[in-house]
Copies of this chain bind each other. A is one copy, B any other.
Amino acid sequence: MKTDLRVMKTKEALQEALLTLLKNKPLELISISELCRKAKVNRGTFYFHYGQIEDLYEDYFREIMRDLANCYQEPYRHVVKLKTSELDPKTIKVFHHIEKYKPFYRIVFSKNMPLTYYYLLFEEIKNLFTKDREVNYQVDNTINSEYFSSYQANAILGMIIQWSMNDFKQPASFLNEQLVKIINLEV
């Protein structure tokens, strides 16, 4: 029981229409009606597959998340045991990933976007931290690892939020340097 060809065709049409419309206006200003007109898909059909435009956007989102996962794994391909103090800024690729998909993240971090996307991003980065810790080192076992990952992941997201507020003006390399300095800071 494979995916129905009709469904694929419909979804592709909607995807493409969305990306086209996104070139001219932000996500929150695109109506379902407009999208369907553009895609030549009946509005009822849209509702058959999705609930809101955001759900459609999510497909695109997940694709980019895959790229993020790859980017983040990067440092571990070079160094076996990771000590932050010797971590080369260049080996962290998260900020470069963001820079690469700048127009996309501009949307994700815009004020009107629902928290959903932020949470997806959060979960993605959190998982990477959790995985990292399992592989590379142990911490004080009275520390709850769920909260620890959340702390770390969102700290980085904090820098990214700030970066987006600065309209991504600084180069990714600058963010990297700052991150390494902050992590190595004695408290």
A83 closest partner in B (C-beta)? B187
Establish whether residues A161 and B155, one from each chain, have CB atoms under 8 Å apart when the complex forms: no
* Contact, CB under 8 Å: A139 / B109: no
> A159: CB under 8 A from chain B?
yes
User: Is A79 in the interface zone, CB < 8 Å from B?
Assistant: no
SS of A interface (majority) = helix
List the number of copies, as a whole number.
Answer: 2
Question: Which range holds the interface residue count of chain A?
Answer: 35 or more
Q: Which residues of B contact A162 (CB under 8 A)?
A: 146-147, 150
Residues of A within 8 A of B (CB): 84-85, 109-116, 118-119, 122, 139-140, 142-144, 146-148, 150-159, 161-163, 175, 178-179, 181-185, 187
Q: List 5 A-B contacts (CB under 8 A).
A: A111-B115, A113-B115, A147-B163, A148-B178, A151-B179
